[in-house]
Amino acid sequence: MKSNMGTTDKVIRTSLAVFIAVLYYTDVIAGTLGIVLLVLAGIFVLTSFVSFCPLYAPFGIKSCKTSSSK
């Protein structure tokens, strides 16, 4: 499992996850939508920690810098 997420991508995902969590715990979002968004936030945090997004792999997307070897 090679890294396919850059620093900016990880910061955006983590910030979005924190924002969703704050909205959920302040009861701005609730019910089924709140739970679904909270699960999505958990997935964002998990993928940020492992630096790998499974949805990027089939499309060949990489937001990390690649090292060019000669």
Model confidence over 19-52: pLDDT tens digits? 999 999 999 999 999 999 999 999 999 999 998 8
pTM above threshold 0.85? no
Question: What is the Cα–Cα distance from 63 to 54, expressed in whole angstroms?
Answer: 13
Distance of CA 40 to the CA centre of its chain: 8
Q: How confident is the model at residue 68 (pLDDT cuts 50, 70, 90)?
A: low
Q: Which of 9, 5, 8 is nearest to 62 (CA)?
A: 5
Would you state the pLDDT for residue 67? 63
Q: Kindly report the CA angle at 47 between 2 and 38, in degrees rounded to 5?
A: 165
Domains in the chain: boundaries: 7-50
Task: Report angle CA 1, 51, 25 to the nearest 5 degrees.
Answer: 135
Residue 61 above 90 pLDDT?
no
Q: Calculate mean pLDDT across residues 66-70.
A: 58
